[in-house]
Structure 1
Amino acid sequence: MHFKPVSLSLALAGLLLAGCSSTDKATEPKAAAPATESSSSAAAPSFTGSCDSSAVASFVGKKADGALVEQAQRQSGAETARVLRPHQPVTMEYNSRRLNIDVDDAGVVKQLSCG
């Protein structure tokens, strides 16, 4: 069987392009999500892996600084926490082990929820 150089080149190019495709799940783009997300590498004593936002309801009205975010994450039992600012793009996937801390323009906590 004799192959023409053009068809052999096209076949080779097709194989090379097929090797470049990816089947990995897309990850959340870091540049598009400026939310502050915290994750503990060492589990805190109160870590349960499931989030309970009612345990941190008393944080509403307080300034959301780093210490508050860590404390809220620990007390809620959440695996991760993120601060959500007004008009900020965020991913909408539900994560039962994540604490969402909604703040106003001044960084004051308006609402805490899991998901």
Structure 2
Amino acid sequence: MRFALVIVPFMALAACQEEGVGDDPQSLGATDACGASGWQGLIGEHRDVLAAMTFPAPMRVYGPDDAVTMDYSPERLNVIHDEDGIITRVECG
């Protein structure tokens, strides 16, 4: 009985927690750790322009049919393009 008196308040608190709060890596304070804000001018350009540029490491370029890992790395610059090779997003992760 004593165990129930101790554990029930913690269970009640857990039930009140909002789902998904704190799950988004962007909410962890690493919103621009890779410097993506400085590369937003690439949006709308073709991915071929990247070949002549120098980027900080780590960095990856991928499109809709490319396989990528789902790990989040706030220091990594991601350049994402569409099916036609047009850059649609530049973000950390």
Larger Rg: 1
Q: Deviations over 1:39-89 (max 9, x none)?
A: xxxxxxxxxxx4111101011000112x5256362xxxx322111111322
Distance in 1 of aligned mates of 2:75 and 2:52? 14
Q: Percent identity?
A: 31
Q: Per the alignment, do residues 72 and 94 of structure 1 end up closer, same or farther by CA in structure 2, a change over 3 Å counting? A: farther
Aligned to 2:53: 71
Aligned to 1:103: 81
Higher helix fraction (1 or 2): 2
What pairs up with 1:1-115 in 2 under 5 angstroms? 50-65=33-48, 67-68=49-50, 71=53, 73=55, 78-115=56-93
Q: Secondary structure at the match of 1:89?
A: coil
TM-score (norm 2): 0.56
- Extract unaligned runs of 5+ from structure 2: 1-32
Q: Counterpart of 1:90 in structure 2: which amino acid?
A: V
- Extract unaligned runs of 5+ from structure 1: 1-49
Distance in 2 of aligned mates of 1:70 and 1:94? 27
Q: Which has the higher contact order (CA 8 A, sep 6+)?
A: 2
Give the alignment's Cα RMSD to 1 decimal. 2.0
Q: Counterpart of 1:107 in structure 2: which amino acid?
A: G
Distance in 1 of aligned mates of 2:92 and 2:51? 13
Instruction: Provide runs of 4+ in structure 1 moved above 3 Å.
Output: none
Distance in 1 of aligned mates of 2:36 and 2:54? 9
